[in-house]
Structure 1
Amino acid sequence: MQARIRVTAGDSRDRLRPLMSWLRAEDELRGQLELTSAAPAPDEMGAVADVLTVALGSGGAAAVLARSLSVWLRQQRSDTTIEITTAGDGARSVKVTAQRVEDAEAVIKSVLDAERER
């Protein structure tokens, strides 16, 4: 399974690269991360946005990703929104905004687990 992570803020590219470095510190995610480009959404024009793609194999990688993302979000000094989309037939997507979700880890994990169960 793959999860694609976008930081949807004015300085998204400036935040995505540090997020990638943050996630690389997790043993279960090391070597599973790739910075890619996403096609613009139908309502977007111009440049494409950077996306962090995470390959999640079996085991606890999804739980590690959910925990690590929630900690990273809590450490952001300004409002930060990330959008996580899973690939596959039953693709799912969730947006989580720092300072507005009480339990970001549970929300992120529910999306990742739902895709895995398919």
Structure 2
Amino acid sequence: MPEQRTTASRGELALAVHGTEAEQHLRLLYDWLTLEDDLRGRLRLRSRPVAEGEMGGVLDVLTVALGAGGTGALIARSVSTWLSQRRADITVTVKAPDGREVSIDVKRSQDPLAIIREVERLAAPPQE
């Protein structure tokens, strides 16, 4: 199976799910995030290119268009809550357009304030 790539375009955060049944969990995360009013219309599931021998593309990234301030905190809070309800051993990696990233697993989701700070930092433009 090809390696998952977590890529973000300018003005987007990219979220990837790693672990068992990653594609299914990515769809569930997408469904969960669409319940947030402030994220509606800003979410998109992307497939990686079809590899040789595959019948179709595999979903590998959920992108979130960044908007007004607070998007990072909203994403972090929602992802933390979603992860805390999972029984599977999965991790969500959030990547900023400039390549900075943070990984959140089921165990770390128990400290949502720390995760919110980290994802807010990713959502903010990099300081030079």
Q: Give the TM-score, by structure 1 length.
A: 0.79
5+ residue gaps in structure 1? 40-45
Distance 1:114 1:23, change over 3 A: closer
Once the two structures are TM-superposed, the CA of residue 5 in structure 1 deviates from its matched residue by: 0.6
Corresponding letter in the other structure for 1:55: A
2:102 corresponds in structure 1 to 94
Do residues 58 (structure 1) and 52 (structure 2) align? no
2:24 corresponds in structure 1 to 14
Runs of 4+ in 1 over 4 A off after TM superposition: 46-49
Corresponding letter in the other structure for 2:114: A
RMSD of aligned Cα (Å): 2.2
5+ residue gaps in structure 2? 1-10
1:107 corresponds in structure 2 to 115
**Identity level (%):** 39
Question: Distance in 1 between the 2:82 and 2:96 partners?
Answer: 20
Larger Rg: 2
Q: Give the TM-score, by structure 2 length.
A: 0.74
Question: Distance in 1 between the 2:122 and 2:22 partners?
Answer: 27
2:87 corresponds in structure 1 to 77
